[in-house]
Structure 1
Amino acid sequence: MIRLARALVATLLLGIGIVQAGQNCEEKPITLDAASKAFSLASKLRDRLEASNDEVVILGRIGRDMSRYGLRYSHAGYAWRDHPKGRWLVRHALNRCGTAESDIYDEGLANFFMDDPLYYEVLVLRLKPELQSRLALALKQPLRLHEPRYNLVAYPFSSQYQNSNQWLLETLASAEMPGDPGSPLGREQAQRWLRQNGYLPSTLYIPTLTRLGGRITRANIAFDDHPFGRRMAGQIDVATVESIAAYIDKQGELIKQEVLTLP
């Protein structure tokens, strides 16, 4: 309950503090143009969601340029209907700037696009109804699989750290596993399920000097959770939006994949 209260307080402080998900990590007011674009894309997304019978979908956004790694989307979150009011909220993990910690946040759809995205575009992953229902139950306990020690390049099969996409992926695994989605579950169990069911992370090539520079200058970057041999070869495996989408499709749980952009 203490951690949940901390996460809710963090949500209220979004207008004061800064969280890491967009291009920049600096305190500056949002421009009128950026706010207008965020609300326009959110409105388009809401119309699409309201036209469906979906209860939970996965959203991907382009917070930063990942093209050097052959990736487009940098961050994922769950959008779900806030029953009984029926509002759409985004629940996701975010790193507070300048720190090595994260919290779970509930935000409106427009807020999801307000922290300086590279492009105003959203990927929508629509899931099979049974998985949606199980995710809705799992999302009622968002801190169950949350690890506040944040690492931007966390290794997906280690519980030492966690990044935003890894929290979403492990929550997805908890909904896929047999039994009650709300029952006690450890991160190691979720990771074991993912490995056994063929989840494949994305591999980023990050050379030694780049790794050393990132580790020294950034509080939220560490490589010591990665297997030694692959780390020395510059092969850094991470949970990405694309790898999550590929896994869901491989499991036969993906109904449709859509991309919404501003005109």
Structure 2
Amino acid sequence: MKPARFLAALALALPVWAFAGQSCEEKPLTPETFRLAMQTAQTVQQRLDALDSDVVVLGRMGQDLSKYNLRYTHAGIVYRTAPDRRWRVAHLLNDCGTDRSDLWYEGLGNFFLDDMFRFDSVALVPPPQVAKRLLERLNQPARLRELHTARYNLLAYPFSTRYENSNVWVLEQLAAAESREAMVRSREQAQMWLKLNGYQPTELNLGPMTRLGGRMFKANVAFDDHPSELRYADRIQTVSVDSIIHFFDAREEGWKVEEIAGAQPRRY
């Protein structure tokens, strides 16, 4: 596909006021941002086309979290649709400025248009047997919604069903696809599987002012789902893209991790 045709195909309708933990500031879309997103999407698509899998977990760098030793902030599940074989992204997004979320299905171009910090990404490729079960879930939207809670929390605790965020949703979908012992039909069951299999969330050491300020001034940040002994010690455990990668890579089942360099800003 020629670049111009590719860019036109990727420029789908943008999500309205739906973000994955970004600042929610209304910023005009600049030609440079559009170029970076579309070139990155083209690079990612080419790499996905070369992989022997119809479903991949894709992480992006929406914010700078280097002070927490984290690189990727938001994950979605990328899969080929039938019969056109196009790549689509299924992910959970926050309704900006609220405590609500919904599931979105978008093209790769849109995935990189959401107020990015950098345009590098990471692909987590499941082993064939898990990919098959995950793709079956993606083709049944009702199954995806079994593990969706509309109440959003940017720092949702991984072992509570009170809230959910983008990475929690992805992690629980992967748990449902991985489970061989029993069919996972609820968030409680997905979290039980994760506990039994040793999933370790990322722990953020937040100061009390940061924690209390977030709860007071942001509708999409809460801490009341975290255990008191952790919360009052300013130890906030949550699901990061890095923790998802570390957990499944350590299972030694054939999961593959590949980092993909994105487009770079022009130097004038």
Q: Does TM, normalized by the shorter one, top 0.5?
A: yes
In the TM superposition, residue 179 of structure 1 has moved relative to its aligned partner by 6.4
Amino acid at match of 1:153: L
Q: Which runs of 5+ in 2 are unaligned?
A: 1-11
Counterparts of 2:184 and 2:251, CA distance in 1: 24
Moved more, 68-77 or 21-30: 21-30
Amino acid at match of 2:75: A
Q: Structure 2 vs 1, CA of residues 179 and 82 (structure 1 numbering), >3 Å: closer, same or farther? A: farther
Moved more, 62-71 or 135-144: 135-144
Residue 6 of structure 2 corresponds to none
Moved more, 96-105 or 138-147: 138-147
Amino acid at match of 1:216: M
Total equivalences in the alignment? 249
Residue 204 of structure 1 corresponds to 204
Q: CA RMSD in A?
A: 1.7
- What are the residue-to-residue correspondences of 1:1-263 with 2, within 5 Å? 15=14, 17-21=16-20, 23-139=22-138, 140=140, 141-178=143-180, 185-261=185-261, 262=263
Q: Structure 2 vs 1, CA of residues 22 and 41 (structure 1 numbering), >3 Å: closer, same or farther? A: farther
The answer on whether the counterparts of 1:131 and 1:176 sit within 8 Å (CA) in structure 2 is: yes
Q: Return the TM-score normalized by structure 1.
A: 0.90
Superposed CA offset, 1:203-225 (max 9, x none): 00112111110000000011011
Residue 4 of structure 1 corresponds to none
1:143 alignment partner, SS class: helix
Amino acid at match of 1:69: Y
Of all paired residues, the percent bearing the same amino acid is 46
In the TM superposition, residue 67 of structure 1 has moved relative to its aligned partner by 1.1
Amino acid at match of 2:201: P
Amino acid at match of 1:257: V
Q: Return the TM-score normalized by structure 2.
A: 0.89
The answer on whether the counterparts of 1:248 and 1:254 sit within 8 Å (CA) in structure 2 is: no
